Amino acid sequence: MHGRSPVWPIRLRRPPGNTCRARWPCIARPLSLTDGWPGCSLLPAAAGKRNSTATRGQGRQAVDHAQRQACHAGEERFRIVFDNAAIAIAIADTAGILLDTNPGLAGMVGAPVEALRGTSVLRLAHPEDRAEIHTLIAGTLVAARGGTVKLERRFVRADASTGWASLAITYVKGAAGRADYLLAVGEDVTERRRLQAELRWQARHDGLTGLPNRRHLLERNHALTATAADHDRVGLCFVDLDGFKQINDRHGHRIGDQVLLAVATRLRESLPADDAIIARVGGDEFIVLVWPPADEPRITAVADRLISALATPITAGEHQPRISASIGAVTTSADTPATDLLDAADRAPYHAKTSRKDQWVLHTPDNPHTSEHDA
């Protein structure tokens, strides 16, 4: 071009997209789309429209591609977590049929993942728990089409052994037209349950003889009181061994422990299990709680059997010490507080010892008279 530079009408695009028209001198050199200043672009009107449409198309493609990549990456991350989690994970349809399980669940039940797919979750449950689990899934989660239930129930391993599992089962609504499903996450708590049961047993039993201790006895008596009928009577026999301290002093505690074990065995075997509970409540003291109806004739029969159980010498190592017992027997209303019942039985052996050992004394708190019975 020569002479004056021509002036072309152009359109200015200003953020955020408003435009205006202006006249701009044409410079005798090629113009770049980047010519101008920040925030403005110098584009002929028709070219700008074509470029804008192309840019939007490319933008949509980029977004779709990014979404696909993110979805694929998310699925990969979920699969890594699913396969490597130290807990059991299962996905089932709303009918309870397993669609997929992770190695954590497969290891817990002792079966390969492939063998678990397509089976019912109820097959993994203990037969006695299946009805309850079915009600929780169908009646709670599926009926409401949402929610989570937490439970701790028994399961059956592939070798037919049983264990305990703690589970959280969640109803998940399917996205993008997919079917709803159930997600179960849990862990094997068999060992924890075993330790809890062991601790509970230790807290309620004597460590030497394995008999219930005072705590267990009081709990059983409290339960008995709560369920007793009107006019029911309960019986208690407080057994205090005669001369046990001398055995300990003469032969040592090892022989003394063997004597206590033998005494506990004899007392336990002298009475039917459904007649009474025998507890060790002290060094040489035992208590027998007799279930209702515990009238005087029945208490008399129980006390006589306890005395007879110790009639023959006990073998402890190379020794055969003779041992007897003084027994305080109590019969009273079943609604008597346990502490009052124990106090009454605790006092009764001393009446027997002050008169003569190897006998039992019957005491009735609501009757001031006591009766003594020789062995």
Structure confidence by residue, pLDDT tens digits, 32-60: 434 443 444 444 445 555 555 556 666 67
Report in angstroms the alpha-carbon separations of 313 from 252, 262, 289: 18, 10, 25
Structure tokens at 295: 């009238």
List the beta strands (DSSP E) in the chain.
Answer: 7-14, 18-25, 41-43, 88-92, 98-101, 148-156, 162-172, 181-188, 233-242, 276-280, 285-290, 324-333, 359-364, 367-374
Report whether 247 contacts 321 (CB < 8 A): yes
DSSP string of 214-278, one letter each residue: HHHHHHHHHHHHHHPPTT-EEEEEEEEEESHHHHHHHH-HHHHHHHHHHHHHHHHHHS-TTTEEE
pLDDT by residue, tens only, the chain of 375 residues: 455 545 555 555 555 555 555 554 544 444 343 444 344 444 444 555 555 555 666 667 766 656 666 666 667 787 888 888 889 999 999 999 999 999 999 999 999 999 999 999 999 999 999 999 999 999 999 999 999 999 999 999 999 999 999 999 999 999 878 899 999 999 999 999 999 999 999 999 999 999 999 999 989 888 888 887 778 888 889 999 988 999 989 999 999 999 999 999 999 999 988 889 999 998 999 999 988 888 888 988 999 999 999 999 999 888 898 898 988 888 888 887 777 777 776 776 665 565 555 567 776 655 544 555 555
Q: Which of 40, 136, 39, 48 is nearest to 96 (CA)?
A: 136
Cis amide linkage into residue 368, ω under 30° from 0: no
Residue 186 burial (10 A CB sphere; 0-12, 13-18, 19+): buried
